[in-house]
Amino acid sequence: MLTEATAGFFDIDLQQLAPEDLHVKDARSGYRVRLTLKPGLRPGVIQQTISLATNLRNRPNIEVPVYGIVDSDFAIMGGKGWDSTLRKVNLGNVSRDTGAIRKLTIFVRGPKRDEIVLQPPVVTPKNVLVSLGEPQGKGEAKSVRYPLTIEIPKGIPAMNHLGNDQGDFGKITINTNHPDVPQLEIRLQFATQ
């Protein structure tokens, strides 16, 4: 059994093992479970659970967690505070007297990399400044690079975007003309004081 929302993107094949294929001491039987991911799953983190029913009295169900990342023609790289798995940049507690700046790079790969257009970022909250630089490497490299600068300006009001009960994450949204990835989202985690 799979999590319903993404179950249609997985195939599971169970194959009973022959006694000579059992490599666990004292094992009497066993199965090989093959999980295949089908095309079409949106890029991002996979968190899935496979639930296997057994005839064992002491263990009628076995749950197997499946974790992974569906890659795309886009990759984002960053330094301090960047978490590529969650597509989140953590700026931490930012002093309103000094502000903060973080720089990321968006890489566009694939055969149509030179044709992909990134629209200007839309940011929540609006008083966070985000700028997308000119593309670099068009027509000459295996990827086109877009510099992205995130600035929490000096004098910004006090706010909490730590992604907890006191405030949701901030968000950067960048629309694209890519047929499979029409939108990139980057979460912002910070609080100003």
In the chain, where are the structural domains located?
7-70, 74-192
Select, from the ranges 50-54, 59-63, 187-191, the one with the highest average predicted confidence (pLDDT). 187-191
Give per-residue pLDDT as tens, 118-147. 999 999 999 999 999 999 998 888 899 999
Per-residue pLDDT of 13-41, as tens digits, reads 999 999 888 888 888 888 888 988 887 77
pTM for the whole structure = 0.69
| Closest to 41 in 3D by CA, of 70, 66, 4 | 70
What fold, for 74-192? Answer: Immunoglobulin-like (2.60.40)
Which are the contacts of 106, defined by CB distance < 8 A and separation ≥ 6? 74, 75, 76, 118, 132, 145, 146, 148, 174, 184
Question: What residues contact 143, with CB distance under 8 A and at least 6 apart?
Answer: 75, 107, 108, 109, 113, 137
CB 8 within 8 A of CB 56: no
Mean pLDDT of 39-63: 83
Tokens coding 139: 């027509």
Q: Which long-range contacts (CB under 8 A, 24 or more apart) does 14-20 make?
A: none
